[in-house]
Amino acid sequence: MTEESLFGLAGRVAAIIGAGSGIGEAVALGCAEQGATVCCLDVDLQAASATAEAILKQHSPATAAGLDVTDPTAVDRSLGRLVQEHGALDVVVCTPGVNVRKPIVDYTDEEFDRVVDVNLKGSFHVLRAAGRLMAPRRRGSIILFSSIRAQVVEPGQSVYASTKAGIVQLVRTAAAELGPAGVRVNAVGPGVVDTPLTSQIRNQPAWHNAYAAKSVFNRWATPQEMVGPTVFLASDASSFVTGTLLMADGGWTAVDGRFDPM
C-alpha cells in the first residue's frame, strides 16, 4: 500500500463540523487536500461557505450548510441529507467548543448549561447521528475533539474540563458499541492552539507566554498542526485504531516541570 492510499481520502465523503474557523477550517481544507469530498458545517453559515469556497478554488468538491450541534433534530437532518446527496458518509469530524473561564463558585447555571450543551451534548448529538448512519454501511470514522483538559486542569476550567473528559468516555463507549459494525470512533486532544476560542488568553502576554512554556517546543500550536492527527484517524492508516485519545499537545501532558543539569 502506497503512502498516498494509506493516508488518502479520495472517494470519501467527510463532514467537518465547525469548519467555519480555527481547527475545523484547517481540517476541512486538509481533508480536501487528501481527496475527500468535504461538507463544511458550522453554526455560522457565512463562515462555512467561505471555507467551502476556498476548497472549491483548489478544484476539490465541497459544499456548505449551517448547523447548530445543540439541536439534535438539525444534526440528524443535516448528516442524513449528506447520505442522500452523496450516497455515503465516511468521515465525521466534530470540533465546536465554548468555554467560560471562572471559578466554580462564581459559575451560573446558565453558563454551565451553555458549555455542556455545546461541548458535551453537541458532541453526543453528532456521535449518535453519525453512528446511526454509518453502522448499517459497516464502515466509517467518527472523530471528536477533546483537549488536554481531559487529563489536566487549572483553576477556572472546571466545566470545560468536565466536558472534554466526558467526550473521551463517549468515544470509548461508542468505539466498543460500533466497532462490531466496522465504525471507528476516536478523539484528538489538542494543547493550546491559536484559534478564536483562545483569543481571550492569547491577547494577554503573561498568559500567552505561560501557555507557550508548557509545550516542550515553547510555543502554541497552529490549527494546521491538528490536520495531520485528524487525517490519520480518518484514513486507512488508522484502520486498527479506535477508542483512543490522540494527544496533539506539544508534550504538555507528558512533561512535568523543567530541569537544567547545568
Bridge partners (DSSP) of residue 246 are: 188
The residue range of the domain holding 206 is 9-248
Binned at pLDDT 50, 70 and 90, residue 196 comes out as: confident
Question: Is 203's pLDDT higher than 90?
Answer: no
Whether residue 2 lies inside any domain: the answer is no
Q: Tens digits of per-residue pLDDT, 235-259?
A: 999 999 999 999 999 999 999 876 6
Whether residue 150 lies inside any domain: the answer is yes
Greatest Cα pair distance in the chain: 64
Whether residue 253 lies inside any domain: the answer is no
Q: Tens digits of per-residue pLDDT, 42-89?
A: 999 999 999 999 999 999 999 999 999 999 999 999 999 999 999 999
Whether residue 225 lies inside any domain: the answer is yes
Higher pLDDT, 48 or 202: 48
pTM of model > 0.85: yes
Q: Are 80 and 65 in contact (CB under 8 A)?
A: no
CATH number for the domain harbouring residue 185 = 3.40.50.720
Binned at pLDDT 50, 70 and 90, residue 137 comes out as: very high
Query: 3-state secondary structure string, 25-93?
Result: HHHHHHHHHCCCEEEEEECCHHHHHHHHHHHHHCCCCEEEEECCCCCHHHHHHHHHHHHHHHCCCCEEE
Whether residue 256 lies inside any domain: the answer is no
Whether residue 19 lies inside any domain: the answer is yes
Catalytic residue (one of 7, 124, 145, 160): 160
When divided into structural domains, the chain yields a total of 1
Mean pLDDT throughout 228-235? 98
Say whether 107 is catalytic.
no
Question: Is 93's pLDDT higher than 60?
Answer: yes
Whether residue 89 lies inside any domain: the answer is yes
Mean pLDDT throughout 119-130? 98
